[in-house]
């Protein structure tokens, strides 16, 4: 690891010099790419410098203790420095191992989130709306752009299903652990006797792929247009503006009807289709990886129950990492960083443990 860090420091210094080269500065594309790499390496190199300083203090203190120095006060100070710097070296080494873990190439990408009501009928649809609000408020707090792509609203104000995009640097890195079944336990608004019901909602987080990552052959698509309708079945558009796209080889079907423009609905449907096909491609790749090397926090399987929201107790429990927080209202208002940080940390620790077992 230390040899890898020393080489990174050399590359970092070379990169720093390149960024001051007038020829590089004038080439905007090259400059942006190099600056992105420079920003990625900066925190690692800075942490490595901290480690190097702590290691030097440790060596100096050890050398003094082994020198036969007779001054008790000096030896006492050296002993304290020895123990402190040794502990700091171990902490920094562990931190550097985490920082050097291979980064998910999709982490900086935008996402499409699909939420569908599961078991529970109207109550599940209402909770789907609550989850959409929760994710939207989180995105807003980070200055990210959120846009509804497709929705099927109920008369009570919930959603049978809703698809929306979130655009912002690092969006996927935060939302990628949300795929799965979310369970809610509460007294439904439609329940007069005050009994607690359990309902489920399914969440799927899809990467918005780059054009070069996925090419769709137009001849593989069947595109149908029809009249859009609203909650309860009433027509909200007298023209055939709604669009249904079927990817014939995989039989993946996407519908969009929220916009009055057929062109806009087709554009949004294609965005969702691309993301679903890309997710399928990634899943095939993951299936080829040995199970012990997969992400340990969760497979991203939509059938996996990952979390429970218990309203009477005011708690949220993430079953994958055993995390329970008694601030349910706060979480539902979009304050999710504590949850996302815990999931990311658990994932990193699992990957570190996997690397150590292979070593």
Inter-residue contact 67 to 78 (CB < 8 Å): no
**Is a pLDDT exceeding 60 seen at residue 50?**
yes
Domain ranges of the chain: 2-99, 111-290+298-349
Convert the pLDDT of each residue in 84-120 to its tens digit: 999 999 999 888 888 888 787 788 888 989 998 888 7
pLDDT at 353: 75
pTM value > 0.85? no
Tell me which DSSP letter residue 172 carries. H
**Is a pLDDT exceeding 50 seen at residue 176?**
yes
pLDDT at 203: 93
CATH 1.20.58 corresponds to the domain 2-99: yes
pLDDT at 196: 85
pLDDT at 138: 96
CA distance 103 to 195: 46
Among 39-43, 174-178, 180-184, 283-287, the range scoring the smallest mean pLDDT is: 283-287
Our CA dihedral for 153, 154, 159, 165, rounded to 10 degrees, sits at: 10
Mean pLDDT estimate for the chain: 83
pLDDT at 229: 66
Q: In Å, what is the CA distance from 325 to each residue of 47, 146, 342?
A: 31, 26, 11
Inter-residue contact 24 to 34 (CB < 8 Å): yes
First to last CA, the chain: 12
Mean pLDDT, to the nearest integer, of 198-211?
84
The CA angle 263-268-269, to the nearest 5 degrees, is 95
Fold for the domain defined by 111-290+298-349: Alpha-Beta Plaits (3.30.70)
């Amino acid at each position: 690891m230390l040899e890898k860090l020393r080489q990174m420091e050399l590359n970092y210094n070379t990169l720093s010099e390149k960024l001051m080269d007038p020829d590089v500065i004038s080439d905007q594309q090259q400059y942006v790419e190099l600056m992105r790499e420079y920003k990625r390496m900066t925190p690692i190199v800075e942490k490595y410098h901290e480690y190097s300083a702590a290691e030097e203090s440790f060596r100096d203190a050890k050398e003094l203790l082994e020198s036969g120095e007779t001054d008790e006060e000096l030896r006492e100070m050296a002993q304290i420095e020895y123990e402190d710097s040794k502990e700091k070296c171990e902490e920094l080494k562990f931190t550097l191992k985490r920082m050097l873990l291979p980064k998910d190439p999709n982490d900086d990408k935008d996402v499409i989130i699909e939420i569908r009501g599961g078991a529970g009928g109207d109550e599940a649809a209402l909770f789907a709306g609550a989850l959409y609000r929760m994710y939207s408020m989180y995105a807003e707090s980070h200055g990210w752009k959120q846009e509804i792509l497709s929705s099927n609203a109920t008369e009570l104000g919930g959603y049978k299903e809703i698809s929306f995009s979130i655009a912002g640097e690092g969006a996927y890195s935060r939302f990628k652990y949300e795929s799965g079944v979310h369970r809610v336990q509460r007294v439904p608004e439609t329940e007069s006797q005050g009994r607690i019901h359990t309902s489920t909602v399914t969440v799927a987080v899809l990467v918005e792929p780059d054009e070069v990552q996925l090419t769709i052959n137009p001849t593989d698509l069947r595109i149908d247009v029809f009249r859009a309708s609203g909650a309860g079945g009433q027509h909200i558009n007298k023209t055939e503006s709604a669009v249904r796209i079927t990817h014939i080889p995989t039989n993946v079907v996407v519908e969009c009807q929220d916009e009055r423009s057929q062109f806009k609905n087709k554009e949004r449907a294609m965005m969702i289709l691309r993301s679903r096909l890309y997710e399928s491609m990634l899943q095939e790749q993951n299936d080829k990886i040995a199970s012990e090397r997969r992400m340990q926090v969760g497979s991203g399987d939509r059938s996996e129950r990952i979390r429970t929201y218990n309203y009477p107790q005011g708690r949220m429990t993430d079953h994958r990492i055993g995390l329970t927080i008694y601030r349910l209202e706060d979480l539902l208002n979009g304050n999710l960083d504590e949850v996302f940080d815990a999931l990311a940390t658990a994932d990193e620790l699992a990957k570190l443990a996997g690397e150590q077992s292979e070593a």
